[in-house]
């Protein structure tokens, strides 16, 4: 279970940061208005990240069973998994391009989080992504 949360937390951290910078680069500031667009996007990212992490966990467990130690090949496989997931999401979500970037980067970082063998780092990445996402959400909610 720690494997799942470690990867999901790390990919959520990356996804939240990418979403924040994407929105800021398009708008100049984070558009926090009455419509709540940013909050809706952040909510989608949180939920869909944990769903996508299930696919990442399945791939990781499959690669672990086959004892695949080729890091570069595994990164490519996780990037392809992220691409496949983003193609599915592109039919469901209105924002297309950032979906590809977020899911591919999130998928790769899911795998990279598994390479850590330190217990403290594992718990930090497991909790860190959710804390950062909620912190950005609350910061924007109370500041703007």
Cβ contacts of residue 20 below 8 Å, gap of 6+?
30, 136
Nearest to 3 by CA among 82, 80, 60, 63: 60
For 69, the domain range is 2-143
Tokens of 125: 């990445």
The total of structural domains in the chain comes to: 1
Give CA–CA dist 26/72, Å, rounded: 33
pLDDT in tens, the chain (144 residues): 777 888 888 888 888 888 877 776 766 555 555 556 677 777 888 888 889 999 999 999 999 898 888 889 999 999 999 999 999 888 877 666 778 888 888 898 888 888 877 777 667 766 776 777 777 767 666 665
Contact (CB, 8 A) for 129 and 16: yes
Q: What's the pTM?
A: 0.80
- The residue to which tokens 């497991």 are assigned: 126
């Amino acid at each position: 279970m720690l494997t799942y949360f470690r990867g999901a937390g790390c990919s959520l951290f990356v996804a939240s940061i990418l979403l924040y910078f994407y929105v800021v680069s398009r708008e100049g500031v984070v558009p926090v208005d009455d419509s709540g667009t940013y909050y809706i996007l952040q909510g989608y990212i949180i939920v869909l990240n944990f769903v996508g992490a299930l696919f990442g966990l399945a791939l990781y467990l499959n690669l672990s069973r086959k004892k695949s130690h080729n890091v570069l090949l595994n990164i490519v496989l996780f990037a392809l998994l992220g691409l496949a997931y983003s193609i599915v999401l592109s039919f469901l979500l209105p924002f297309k391009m950032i979906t590809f970037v977020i899911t591919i980067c999130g998928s790769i970082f899911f795998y990279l989080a598994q390479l850590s063998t330190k217990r403290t780092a594992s718990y930090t990445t497991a909790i860190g992504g959710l804390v950062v996402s909620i912190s950005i959400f609350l910061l924007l909610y109370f500041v703007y």
